[in-house]
Structure 1
Amino acid sequence: MRGTALGAGVLFAGGLGGGWALYTKLSDNITADDAAAAELARYERERPTALVRGAQNILVIGSDTRAGDGNRRYGKDSGTERSDTTILLHLAADRRSATAVSLPRDLMVHVPGCLQSDGHRGEPSFTLFNSAFEVGGSACTVRTVEKLTDIRVDHYVVVDFSGFKDMIDAIDGVQVCLKKPIDDKAAKLRLPAGRVTLDGEQALGYVRARKSLGDGSDTGRMDRQQRFLGALVSKVQSSDVLLNPAKLYPLLDAATSALTTDPELASLRGLYQLVRGVRAIPTEHVQFLTVPREPYVYDSNRDQLVAGRADALFSLLRADRPVTVTKKNTSPGDSASPAFHGNTAAEDSCT
């Protein structure tokens, strides 16, 4: 979603007087996670092998840290952080489609023994997925996802609360369609039904709220996140953003400032090399879904994978084969010809 803007931004920076200074500033905004790279290199032999040349898998992590400017208002800083949102983004080798798979924070998974911030190494455990980020940061989350899916994670990106808000404000908000009005004190949201343009603060409340919106489940929240990201993709791909330097530069500045990435991506050139082929992906070929899961057998407040269907999804992504995504009111298909419930970036919930 930020790829199109970043690609255009390289050209934009190069076309201005003093463009190198602008390019350098944007590039220097990005934080390289060298410690995570070193930890992943330590376990290189146990990591999955990429099967299809040119296909890319990027793990996008939304950090719930309260550290940093503007983040403390979202709760007490306990000195830890978890992955509030985690999405495995698969880019097809031909760059004609993209599939974004949400991984529930309450999914029960095997977390390997990870290097902790205090320098000690934890023991492997079967626990909540989002605790991997709390225990061992990006490297632990990548290793957990790879163990869960047997899919090689090529790159990883961490975005925090403040950075997310700034990106939305930089493009003058994102329009969503609300079927019902929202009056939610916990999420600090009061919005009418219909088409509404959310600013950064409102967008953050909208995508993070869980118990107080919809049916109160993480399922509802992930669906909102997916629909919002679809709307964001459409907004960023619009000429109103890409051809308007007054909007493009603030977006680039906010996006790059918000990112902590693997060292290979930690420059504007690195990001551009990854996303230059993404710009032509039609929005209807950008799909969002949640990994097939069901209530955990020992605790209905937790999730577990639906083994057969999850394995089918992971197999398709590993082999870079098309994933069929259907709306929730249609049949998901069978294991012989699997289809998965989800959304596309082109959908409009008002229709």
Structure 2
Amino acid sequence: MTGDNTNGDDGRRAGRRSGVLKAAGLTLAGALVLGIAAAGWAYWHLNSNIKSVDINGALGDNRPPKAMTTPTPSGTASASPLPSGSLNILVLGSDTRSGEENQALGGGDSEGARSDTAMVVHLDAGRTRATVVSIPRDTLVTRPSCPTSSGGSTRESYGAMFNSAYSVGGAVCAVKTVESITGVRMDHYIEIDFAGFAGLVDALGGVTVTTDQDIDDVDSHLKLEAGTHELNGTQALALARTRHGIGDGSDLGRIGLQQTLVKALLERISATNLLSDPTELYSVADAVTTSLTTDTGLDSLGELMELGESLRGLSADEVTTVTMPVVPAPSDPNRVVAEEPEARELWESLR
């Protein structure tokens, strides 16, 4: 007697399909869990990289007023509204030798740290234009009394070099000194060291810069012929530190090179679609945050991403770089002082 086993075969096939679907479902669920865990770890790692200083808490209310915010027109709504006011950010490049990598890049061990680079970055209310004002490190200023971490304060100093503020009082004194000489409120503070800058350039795949003169600096160990060059992180850092191999060997020549690098970095970032490549985005973010110190208003990955998102439409062509007007100091030809009234008018234009 021949039996009909069609239902049995169908049952076995249905069972196999069910098993395959169940296995696929478990695999996808496992991959999702691992992906979420990896994303969570990456966020925690990047967030924990960032160091911060409570500038507002240390300086209190005795500061220049904040920039006025731009009111939102009535009846308008947007899922991603434009920023409501201009921002001024003090960006410092620290020459700290803390850590083996900074010692290697900086040329050996050295106690303390100075603000090797100081730029006031002014972002307009719509984040469509920016002005970057470099303050020469050799500028003689009146350094105000600054609070210290131990609860005391530093002494006011006349005719002090600008970059000494960071040396004696860290980020807090650097911000207070900048606000004192400019009358402009610093809404945020960002500091990056040697290793962080070099790492950022490498993570972006290098930067392209053009120099109009040969460079041969025995201190920064950089040799470049005039022309266009693709620089890696170490070379870009050397360019940012070069001063004796160009012009009259003063800090003003170095500032010109640093401003060229700022434009080159913006152009490279604009040309690199980081959002389409999570691996590259993570590499860049890790390089930046590892060596970053901010004020407490920017000390989370979310806050930094929000600032970065607001700058997506800002191109290098819309960034103006200038240097605070200075003249040789009467007391020392190797130092400079603010040129008036030009310097005052520059800061008033930002206010």
* TM-score class, shorter: 0.7 to 0.9
Instruction: Tell me if the contact between 2:270 and 2:315 (Cα under 8 Å) persists in the aligned partners.
Output: no
Unpaired runs of 5+ residues, structure 1, are: 1-15, 319-351
TM-score, normalization by structure 2: 0.80
Instruction: Tell me if the contact between 2:266 and 2:315 (Cα under 8 Å) persists in the aligned partners.
Output: no
Q: Find the aligned partners of 2:315 and 2:57 in 1 and give their Cα distance.
A: 36
Instruction: Tell me if the contact between 1:65 and 1:77 (Cα under 8 Å) persists in the aligned partners.
Output: no
Q: Find the aligned partners of 2:151 and 2:111 in 1 and give their Cα distance.
A: 15
The match for 1:339 is none
Secondary structure of the equivalent of 2:310? Answer: coil
TM-score, normalization by structure 1: 0.80
Secondary structure of the equivalent of 1:71? Answer: helix
Aligned residue type for 1:51: A
The CA deviation at 1:116 is: 4.3
Paired residue for 1:59, among 78, 90, 110? 90
Q: Find the aligned partners of 1:162 and 1:264 in 2 and give their Cα distance.
A: 23
Structure 1 consecutive aligned stretches of length 4 or more whose deviation exceeds 3 Å: 75-78, 115-120, 180-185, 239-246
Matches within 5 A, 1:331-346: none
Q: Does 1:316 align with 2:349?
A: yes
Q: Does 1:39 align with 2:39?
A: no
Q: Does 1:49 align with 2:65?
A: yes
Instruction: Tell me if the contact between 2:217 and 2:243 (Cα under 8 Å) persists in the aligned partners.
Output: no
Per-residue Cα deviation, 1:100-144 (whole angstroms, up to 9, x for no partner): 100110111111112346764221012110000001000001111
The match for 2:229 is 196
Q: Does 1:111 align with 2:109?
A: no
Secondary structure of the equivalent of 1:214? Answer: coil
The CA deviation at 1:235 is: 0.3
Matches within 5 A, 1:1-351: 17=36, 18-34=38-54, 36-41=55-60, 44=61, 46-53=62-69, 54-73=85-104, 74-116=106-148, 120-126=152-158, 127-318=160-351
The match for 1:3 is none
The CA deviation at 1:307 is: 1.7
The CA deviation at 1:76 is: 4.8
Q: Find the aligned partners of 1:139 and 1:131 in 2 and give their Cα distance.
A: 12
The match for 1:9 is none
Secondary structure of the equivalent of 1:201? Answer: helix
Change (3 A) 1:201 1:292: same
Rg comparison, structure with higher value: 2
Change (3 A) 1:190 1:75: closer
Instruction: Tell me if the contact between 1:235 and 1:241 (Cα under 8 Å) persists in the aligned partners.
Output: no
Question: Which structure is richer in relative contact order (CA contacts within 8 A, separation 6 or more)?
Answer: 1
Residues matched between the structures, number: 299
Instruction: Tell me if the contact between 1:62 and 1:83 (Cα under 8 Å) persists in the aligned partners.
Output: yes
The CA deviation at 1:289 is: 0.7
Secondary structure of the equivalent of 2:253? Answer: helix
Instruction: Tell me if the contact between 2:267 and 2:315 (Cα under 8 Å) persists in the aligned partners.
Output: no
Instruction: Tell me if the contact between 1:171 and 1:241 (Cα under 8 Å) persists in the aligned partners.
Output: no
Q: Find the aligned partners of 1:300 and 1:122 in 2 and give their Cα distance.
A: 27
Change (3 A) 1:77 1:119: farther
Q: Find the aligned partners of 1:205 and 1:75 in 2 and give their Cα distance.
A: 11
Range that drifts further, 299-308 or 221-230: 299-308
Q: Find the aligned partners of 1:26 and 1:149 in 2 and give their Cα distance.
A: 33
Percent identical among aligned pairs is 41
Per-residue Cα deviation, 1:303-349 (whole angstroms, up to 9, x for no partner): 1111211111111101xxxxxxxxxxxxxxxxxxxxxxxxxxxxxxx
Secondary structure of the equivalent of 1:227? Answer: helix
Aligned residue type for 2:176: R
Range that drifts further, 270-279 or 122-131: 270-279
The CA deviation at 1:283 is: 2.0
Change (3 A) 1:246 1:180: farther
The CA deviation at 1:174 is: 0.4
Aligned residue type for 1:68: G
The CA deviation at 1:59 is: 0.4
Range that drifts further, 101-110 or 278-287: 278-287
Q: Find the aligned partners of 2:214 and 2:330 in 1 and give their Cα distance.
A: 35
Unpaired runs of 5+ residues, structure 2, are: 1-34, 70-84
